[in-house]
Amino acid sequence: MEKEEYSKEVRVIIAALKIGKPARVIAEELGLTVSTISTKLKSVGLTIKGVKRNLTQVIRNRIPFWLENAYTLEQVAEELDVTKEVISSALARQKLRLIGARDTSDALDVLTEQVLAHIFTKGGGITTALRAIGIAEDMLSGKSISVRERISSRGIDIEKFYYAFRRYGAWLTQPGLPEKRFVNDKLISCVCLKCGAGEQVLYTNLLSGNSQSCSACRTTAHHPTKIEETGELFKNLSAAIKSVGLSQHYQKARYHLRRKGICEIGGYTFVDMETQLEVA
Ligand SMILES: [Zn+2]
């Protein structure tokens, strides 16, 4: 009698696993633990993983019919008595798509353009873009496969945007393929937002915050600058040159100032007080 009850429970477990229900959920429903389920299956020579593989088989066998009859995700889920999420992740795992027609339609074109617009302005990859657009987590892998296909069929290279448009202090990363450096590092093209200078910066230094601007801007704070003609003293060249509206000449002024301690631009003479002191 007890034996009879026992095998019935195993049958329930097998049926649930076959349609793709996670063992954790089955355990919850039956008031058991996952390891009890595993033990019960082992007693009849089965494993959770072994039984689960049948969902793959069911889907493979049924998909031609579903496609032919334009089944929706909802209809398939109903047929197998599982949630839509179980079906969509099983399909994604097998790189199958339920409804070719629906996914290759205008909707996919629109989604692909949204993804590209995101990547070209904010950087990152397809999954990040899909997530930002608001695609649900369980749909991400499936959508990402079809969008990736669509992008590569258009011959568009998105790889060089992966690290682009990120802020690390005053650094803004630029599009471009990173150059490999050392064992696990790479050089990323960056622009310093304080002065506009471009530089290749080690990715680890960006992530750690060790590098937050170009080397010239890093030391700017220690270079009080005087304008000879007015006698005014500023905390750095940037402030001095801005006060007379000549910021566009900042890079040139800095170049000469760091070398000679003095430079003339637009009728003003900028004096680097620190360099002057060192010279004296
Ligand atoms: Zn800079």
Measured in Å, residue 98 CA sits from the centre of ligand 1 at 52
Which amino acid is it at 27? A
Q: Three-class SS of residue 266?
A: coil
Distance, in Å, from the CA atom of 52 to the CA atom of 24, rounded to the nearest integer, reads 13
Measured in Å, residue 253 CA sits from the centre of ligand 1 at 13
C-alpha torsion sign, points 204, 210, 212, 213: negative
Burial class for 132, CB neighbours closer than 10 Å (0-12, 13-18, 19+)? middle
Contact criterion met (CB below 8 Å) for 51 and 18? yes
Measured in Å, residue 164 CA sits from the centre of ligand 1 at 18
Measured in Å, residue 223 CA sits from the centre of ligand 1 at 14
Measured in Å, residue 176 CA sits from the centre of ligand 1 at 20
196-229 residue pLDDT tens: 999 999 999 999 888 889 988 876 556 789 999 9
Measured in Å, residue 191 CA sits from the centre of ligand 1 at 8
Distance, in Å, from the CA atom of 235 to the CA atom of 225, rounded to the nearest integer, reads 6
The pLDDT of 101-111, averaged and rounded, is 66
266 against 183, higher pLDDT: 266
Structure tokens at 164: 């682009």
- Number of CB atoms found within 10 A of residue 241's CB: 26
Measured in Å, residue 250 CA sits from the centre of ligand 1 at 10
Measured in Å, residue 207 CA sits from the centre of ligand 1 at 18
**pTM exceeding 0.85:** no
Measured in Å, residue 220 CA sits from the centre of ligand 1 at 9
Where exactly are the structural domains of the chain? 3-93, 106-159, 167-211, 225-279
Output the average pLDDT for the chain: 84
Torsion of CA 74, 79, 82, 83, to 10 degrees: 0
Measured in Å, residue 218 CA sits from the centre of ligand 1 at 7
Contact criterion met (CB below 8 Å) for 17 and 23? yes
43-70 residue pLDDT tens: 888 888 887 767 777 787 777 777 777 7
Nearest to 232 by CA among 270, 265, 190: 270
Measured in Å, residue 261 CA sits from the centre of ligand 1 at 18
- pLDDT confidence of residue 182: 84
Distance, in Å, from the CA atom of 190 to the CA atom of 174, rounded to the nearest integer, reads 5
